[in-house]
Structure 1
Amino acid sequence: MEALNKRLDDIMTLIAEMANGNYDYTLDVSENENELDALIQGITMLGQELKNSTVSRDFMQSIYQGVVDMLLVLNTDYTIRNVNAALEEAIGMPETELVGQHISVLFSDTENLKLLEVFFELENQGKCTNREFILQATDRQIPASCSFSYLVDKHHQTDGILIIAKDITELKLKERELQEAKEKAEAASQSKSFFLSSMSHEIRTPLNGIVGFADLLADTPLNQTQQQYVSLIRTSGSTLTRLLNDILNLHRIEQDKVELEAIPFDIRATTASHLEPYRYLANEKGLTMDYSFAADVPQVVVGDPTRTIQILVNLVSNALKFTETGSIQVRCSADNQNESTRQVTLRFTVTDTGIGIPPEKQAYIFDAFTQSDQSTTRRYGGFGLGLTICKRLVTLMHGEMGVISMQEGQEGTTFWFTLPLTFVPDADIPAPDSAEDTTFEMPYKADILVVDDNPINVLLIQDVLEQMGAIVTTAVGGEEALQVAIGKPFDLIFMDIQMPGMDGLEATVKLRRLGYEKPIVAFSANAYKDDIAKSLSSGMNDHLCKPFTRKELTEVLRKWL
């Protein structure tokens, strides 16, 4: 009996130890394994279960509190069950003050509708991730990215809602900084566009007078010295015009405003018609120049002929500039020609025997306003824009461009570029007419109104038109143009755009509203495509850009008279 009582006392001690959390306390069992031994084993097993449960719970609690993101657990009625330390610290309130309150206490009033939408989505889809909310702290508002999911018990019944909220304050600050930087860049780009447009207009206006009167002077009796001077004036004017066009081209490319054509054209005839004048220039310089096409080059391809020729002519012009003796060779070959898909890659090479480009400088020659040597600029002239424009145009057309120069056994330089194009089998497109027919006689004594506030430009186009047989009336601004045109339906009006007071666009709009139906042609130094579009949308029929050539003026007159 005494042994039994002691055994019972041991069992009571075991139970007490277990109750106090000492789950490692154990009793030995006898070899007989009687009922008391079975009870001891049962109590010990229960202790181990309690120990494991406590360890697991403590482990999960440590994870819950250790997570750097904010965690909330809601009851099924959307009241707060508990929160972690990260949320307490961010909100500035202890868990004891939050428990039992509705979740909306943590959100601003403007977020309530969004919160309802999230809970509706959670109910239908079981989760809702990465929704942005503004959490309401005691002293500030916290932008947070929140994810919602259900918690389930061991019976797979919904036991609550887990919300994981990530503080995205820094991210929002970066987004705001990026947006501000973007807006500043756009404003700077707009200012740049306005500046270039204005400067283009201011330079083209006097340049129009220089080039135009030089052309008129060239048609008068001149001695040899005078002819040389006039030729130099015309050449200088063309150079300045080309510089303006290059700057505007580069800016349009930078703004992604270049629109490429996709039209069929005869690659052989088009190339030949534009390269033939350079052959004569090369001969005058004592150089030989020829161009050739491989037998497998298709006759007709679909692409942008203007841009293709612009690239090729620029490379040939460079070769002429930097080659003193020897030759220039232009080659065109076909790679990767596929008859079934009608795809072909044309490869153009321009090889000269000129001064060459040092290897260490070849990486920079495609940068804007850059040449391989500053002394090159002083000796040969140039602006360092041509190759930049070529490279970017080739890239726009999904091609590649490169240079090979001063390699062992090679003299001079070879520029090459490739263009992936579509070819047209058995097509018959007539070769372009390269001749510039500038002769034009008025079919009748046309009455033409010239509106421009610059007296030099007025005098220039008046002289040219009168030489062609027109009767010319002039006006110096939009107001005067309205008064003159309303009283007399001219056969054609040349209207400047930028004028003080009423500009050409406003004058045109008012003329059209008054029922004026005769052709109106913009006569402007604004060369941007957007400017031309504005002219046409105001009611004008065409656009003649300053400085104009006699060929361009002739084409306008043929079209509208």
Structure 2
Amino acid sequence: MSLIPNMKFRYIGALLAMALLLSMAMVVMQYLLHQQSQDARVINLAGMQRMLSQRIALFSSIDSPQGLEALRLAIDDFEGNHHFLTEKEGGQYHHLNESLESLYYENPIQLHQQSLTFITLAKRHLKQPNTQLSEGILTLSQTLLPNLNQAVSLFEHQAKLNTERVRKIELLIWLLGLTVLFIEAKFVFRPMAKEITETFRQLEASKKLADDALQSKSRFLARVSHELRTPLQALHGYLDEFIKSADAKQLEHVKSAANQLDILLYSVEDFNSLSQQDIVIERHQIQLHDVIKTACISFQLSAHNKSLTFNLALGNALNMACFGDAKRIAWLVGELVNNAIKFTERGGIQVFADIVMTQEASYLEFIVEDTGEGFDYKRLQESMRTEHFQGSQLGLQRCQLLVSALGGQLKFTARKPFGTRAELQIPIEVDIENVRSSKREKLSTNVLLVEDNLINARVIEKMLQPIAKQVTHAEHGEQALEIYQVGKFDVVLMDLNMPIMNGFEATRKIRAIDPIIPILVVTANTNSADLDKVYELGATAHLYKPLQTEVLTDKLTAMLDKR
């Protein structure tokens, strides 16, 4: 998050600006205070000159050793003060402004010259005291005194001007400080406060979103867990019936329940990619009659439990071989039928499906009609937030995403006087030449099957027996490498998660040995990053478990044809 460094930088910048301003103010104030101290000393010395001039006049009339010593001290102080007040540096007077300079050096007063004359007379009297010099000193002191008073007034006026200047500078520094504080408040601290408020708002929104997502996933997993038990219950029930009666029809129901379970598992695996709207449509040769019948037949029991009639009408065109994504079509069909049963309390469900062929295109038409209260999206959304475990609750949003990805359309219309009609249309590629069986006859190859689960390996071997010349089984990647180096194979079926050596490493090493051998990854791992990795290592294609014989055959045929 860049907020903290950004705020830290601006905050430090604001503090540095204030510190710089305070430092400048301190330097200026110290200088001004020094000037005021100098002004006070100057005024004090100028005032002393008046007193000293009178002391010199007084002590010059006293003819005694003590009087002469006092005179000498007064003369030294008067002379020293005068030199201090009139000292120059670089041609400029330190303590005299223009008015004082005129008083000291220009006519008619020339206070500087008067002071020097006064000092000279006093020193002569100090060396050789006489009455005439004493009278001259007294007379000159009376002339000098008003001029010294004027000098003191001018020095005081100069100090007053300097004090006024200090006051103005202090006011300017105060105003400058307020300006800096205003600028910092407006352009630094106020935006920082807004950013902090906005960041906290975003964090609260993110927290709420995360909490909602967690609750949504928790509800989803609970509902899926409940929904998976339905086909599992059917599997157990029909297998028990078969064990008791040995009726082969029970195995057909087992097959339907297994297919429904497969579809449900596929929808769960697909949930993450759908939430990211990153849908990859698979293309396999399928028979829509079997796909739709299998998807619908498991809901007959649900309709029967609610005392609803359930009529399924399938068109003959559905028996044609087609290409499409069977599991996603089956999920869409099942979701629409499930919703129809869920929102219907009396009456029945009518289901119709067929392939419509026009000059432009062919498409699957699937229609579900119910006699419920009518389609209510808000009611459906409310039911998804309750603890009602009917369906996997992936919802109409997933339906719309899948329909859009399949290039189809889904619409709902109200039936009169009540009920809802759901109409699904999905483009279908019809296999006109129906080359499916001819491909099977042509396929005769040696297969290396790398699978650590013995049961899965035996099932896949059974699937491959009618179409493969020989299937050699390896339980892990290291054993597969040993077998591959001494045998001759046309294709490799590779599992990913195995002990000793996994499918990633085995794929890399087999590809290093043979750069053209087709490697078909057969895995239950649906992680896209793992699939990208195995493709980078040399995989040719992949299929997800559980496998369908027809899908496996089509994939192997396509891979070998390309070779």
Question: TM-score, normalized by length of structure 2?
Answer: 0.46
Higher helix share: 2
Higher strand share: 1
Bigger-Rg structure (1/2): 2
Question: TM-score, normalized by length of structure 1?
Answer: 0.46
